Amino acid sequence: VRIEESKDEGRELKGIFVQRNDDKGGSFAVTAEKGKFYAAPDPDEIIFQLTNGTLVSREAKVAVPRVLRFNIWNFPIRLPPTSAFRARGGRNLEFTLPELAQIGRDRTQPEPLRDTSRAAFHFRITEVVSMFLLPMLALALGVPPKRSSSALGVFLSIVIIVTYFKVNQYGEGIGGLGRVDPFIALWVPFAIFAGLVFWMYYTIAFVPGGQPIGALERVFAKISKVVVRLLPFRRERRNGDDDAPEAQPA
């Protein structure tokens, strides 16, 4: 099937070409000006209604093809059987939150399935709730100290977010294996992350002159100065200044 133009979200089709081969060696081809899809009484079939077209039919034992011009022609199309599609489920990634909660509480389910379902449930909840903390984290780490243009806070925020996500993944893994209760494995890291974010936000917002990463900023500034001094072009410039002749008094 080839369609040159589609309008009205696929309800109106123009410039249609259809070709089909049968098992007996025959074939037919159809060109039509317009076409639409309609539901058929058979749920495994749809009707492709073509308007103002030409049908050319060839049979294996007939040398001359048959040509038919039509105003309206209904072309039935068989749909693939539903058995060809895998049913949703079987993996925790495909279950919704209510389904995960139901499986996790169901005592009749196998213990490994319950553990993995509970771990996936708590992982999703903590990931969603942690998003509400990101604005406070961005504010706490995005404001540099006075007279500083350092981007250490931005770099540190990326490290914190990635580290927390990896810790959450690890918690989901050990919780799904049954080594640690999924609630503890995922909500304890979240509590630590939330406490750290609230402390940094409180420091920057309510403590006069507070800077949650002030100590790190000072250490980073000292390290930067040492690195700059060790750079080759800095040493060459300093040696050039030492070799310059001193100015003679007038």
Q: Are 55 and 29 in contact (CB under 8 A)?
A: yes
Structural domain that includes position 24:
2-83
The answer on 157 and 78 residing in a single domain is no
Residue 58 inside a domain? The answer is yes
Residue 239 inside a domain? The answer is no
- Total tally of structural domains belonging to the chain: 2
Tokens matching residue 241: 């200044």
Residue 113 inside a domain? The answer is yes
The answer on 77 and 108 residing in a single domain is no
Residue 238 CB: number of other CB atoms within 10 A? 11
The answer on 116 and 44 residing in a single domain is no
Tokens matching residue 30: 């159809």
The answer on 217 and 96 residing in a single domain is yes
Tokens matching residue 169: 């993944």
Residue 231 inside a domain? The answer is no
CA distance 192 to 24: 71
- pLDDT (tens digit per residue) in 128-178: 999 999 999 998 888 776 666 667 788 888 999 999 999 999 999 999 998
The answer on 78 and 102 residing in a single domain is no
Residue 128 inside a domain? The answer is yes
Q: Is residue 224 pLDDT above 80, yes or no?
A: no
Give the residue, 180 or 8, on which the prediction is more confident.
180
Residue ranges in the chain assigned as alpha helix (H): 97-105, 111-131, 134-142, 152-176, 182-206, 214-230, 232-243
The answer on 98 and 75 residing in a single domain is no
Average pLDDT over residues 10-16: 85
One-letter amino acid of 184: I
Q: Is residue 244 pLDDT above 70, yes or no?
A: no
Average pLDDT over residues 107-120: 91
The answer on 211 and 155 residing in a single domain is yes
Is the Cα torsion angle 127, 132, 136, 141 positive or negative in sign?
Answer: positive
Task: Say if residue 213 is exposed, middle or buried (CB neighbours under 10 Å; 0-12, 13-18, 19+).
Answer: buried
